[in-house]
Structure 1
Amino acid sequence: MSTGHVEYASLNGTHIFKIIGEVRAQSCISLDKLLSRIEQQKNVTGAIVDLTQTTFIDSTVLGILAKLGLKLKQTHQIQAVMLSTNPDITTLANSMGLGQVFVILNYCGDPNVCTNELLDEHINHNVMLSTVLDAHRTLMKLNENNQNMFEPLVKQLEKQQDTIDHSV
């Protein structure tokens, strides 16, 4: 169970995401859907992911953030910024290859930035499976270490998804 949440704000084409507390896969369905909507927008000028209040982040959330960084680079030619003051979180982000798609800064800005909490979506198993699978596929694209680390999980999740698809 997640004991944290994601907050979001947008101003003049710059999108701000705050990951607060302990955030796991269950809390990122809303984030993933939001990223899909942002990807379609024309006026995107920047993105900031604030991890300064993050105490734990799982690989699914990291994969979704990687997807954000990759999409902004590919679609809008924008280098997103990641803020992190926790050395463990920074090390984890760098070890997963997020430094390739984000400029990672050790900066603690104003904690009172006006963001609104993204409310958790009603989660069904198929949506969760698809989100987790997509996030880990994205991480695998970042580097060979991630490819080796997550390949068994992705294969297992793909089998599970195939089983569900063929039973419907």
Structure 2
Amino acid sequence: MIILASFSANGIYMSTGHVEYASLNGTHIFKLIGEVRALSCISLDKLLAKIEQQDNVVGAIVDLTETTFIDSTVLGILAKLGLKLKQTHHIQAVMLSTNQDITTLANSMGLGQVFVILNYCGDPSVCTRALIDEHITQNAMLDTVLDAHKTLMKLNASNQNMFEPLVKQLEKEQDTLDQVSTKQNA
């Protein structure tokens, strides 16, 4: 199991969550295991960009049956997956969840608009492999978190109101990082 550092208001803490992925004949399977937080999303976000460009996509399944915690950045990345599949491939993805708290959270964020959410206990023999987060930079992390929350804001007015202050703060941080980077490269 991969141990990832995650950020909280109090600083850095450890998380044991990760994302696994498999693909078979154009169907993409994403399995989120344990406490899945923002740092688990960089590879997932990159993978989604690749999938969006593929012509043979026929379906997607997001398995949350082993998810014990999921943060808003991860929900935003999943919303992005659901929206892109609907817009680009005219596919409604399926989300599997057996944890009522996770299901309620996903529905409250509007994911039920872009996923068919099913209460399902999956087959543990499904073969997925862990996505490996490579070279996570502060800029990449900030871009992923910002994009995820902007996607959640698009789903409904409640999310718009909830995440607008965070998005504005993240955009300020992004501008500051861009200015620092520009000065360093000059």
Q: TM-score range by the shorter chain?
A: over 0.9
Distance 1:121 1:65 in 2: 20
Counterpart residue number, 2:117: 104
Q: Which amino acid aligns with 2:168?
A: K
**Secondary structure, aligned partner of 2:32:** strand
Q: Which amino acid aligns with 1:13?
A: G
Contact 1:2/1:26 (CA < 8 Å) preserved in 2? no
Unaligned runs of 5+ in 2: 1-13
Q: Which amino acid aligns with 1:131?
A: T
Distance 2:134 2:73 in 1: 16
Contact 1:2/1:27 (CA < 8 Å) preserved in 2? no
Counterpart residue number, 2:144: 131
- Higher-Rg structure is 2
Distance 1:166 1:109 in 2: 47
Out of 115, 128, 141, the residue aligned to residue 154 of structure 2 is 141
Per-residue deviation at 1:165?
Answer: 1.5
Query: Do structure 1's residue 118 and structure 2's residue 131 form an aligned pair?
Result: yes
Query: Do structure 1's residue 92 and structure 2's residue 105 form an aligned pair?
Result: yes
**Secondary structure, aligned partner of 2:15:** coil
Per-residue deviation at 1:3?
Answer: 1.0
Distance 1:166 1:5 in 2: 33
Per-residue deviation at 1:166?
Answer: 2.2
Counterpart residue number, 1:81: 94
**Secondary structure, aligned partner of 1:53:** strand
| TM-score when normalising by structure 1 | 0.98
**Secondary structure, aligned partner of 1:88:** helix
- Higher mean C-alpha displacement, 106-115 vs 37-46: 106-115
Distance 2:66 2:58 in 1: 24
Distance 1:16 1:90 in 2: 18
- Higher mean C-alpha displacement, 113-122 vs 9-18: 113-122
Counterpart residue number, 1:72: 85
Q: How does 1:37-52 map to 2 (within 5 A)?
A: 37-52=50-65
Per-residue deviation at 1:162?
Answer: 1.0
**1:38-93 Cα distance to aligned partner (Å, 9 max, x none):** 00000000000000000000000000000000000000000000000000000000
Distance 1:112 1:61 in 2: 24
Distance 2:166 2:122 in 1: 36
Per-residue deviation at 1:164?
Answer: 1.5
Higher relative contact order (CA 8 A, sep 6+): 1
Counterpart residue number, 2:26: 13
Query: Do structure 1's residue 23 and structure 2's residue 36 form an aligned pair?
Result: yes
Per-residue deviation at 1:121?
Answer: 2.0
Q: Which amino acid aligns with 2:19?
A: V
Contact 1:13/1:43 (CA < 8 Å) preserved in 2? yes
Distance 2:72 2:32 in 1: 14
- Higher mean C-alpha displacement, 18-27 vs 113-122: 113-122
